[in-house]
Amino acid sequence: MWTPENRYQYERKGLRYPSDLTDAEWALVEPHIRPAKRGGRPRTTNMREVTNAVLCLLGEF
């Protein structure tokens, strides 16, 4: 049941899209993202933005 406390907890204000991860959600997902491979150039891709993009695309269906 939606109460004022629950609505505040799950509020998505400040995010570009409703599918974007909050800091708390990202903290749960980040440990499961593989680190960049050793050697070669360092990773320049923001993995949080990649994850947000995937979630945005999945929400379209």
Measure the CA dihedral 35/41/46/50, to 10°. -80
Q: Are 54 and 32 in contact (CB under 8 A)?
A: no
pTM (predicted TM-score): 0.75
Q: Is the pLDDT of residue 2 over 70?
A: yes
Task: Please say if the pLDDT value at position 61 is more than 60.
Answer: no
Predicted confidence at residue 60, as pLDDT, reads 59
For the segment 6-43, what is each residue's pLDDT rounded down to a tens digit? Answer: 777 777 777 888 889 989 999 999 999 999 989 988 99
pLDDT tier at 44, thresholds 50, 70, 90:
very high
| 53 or 60, greater pLDDT | 53
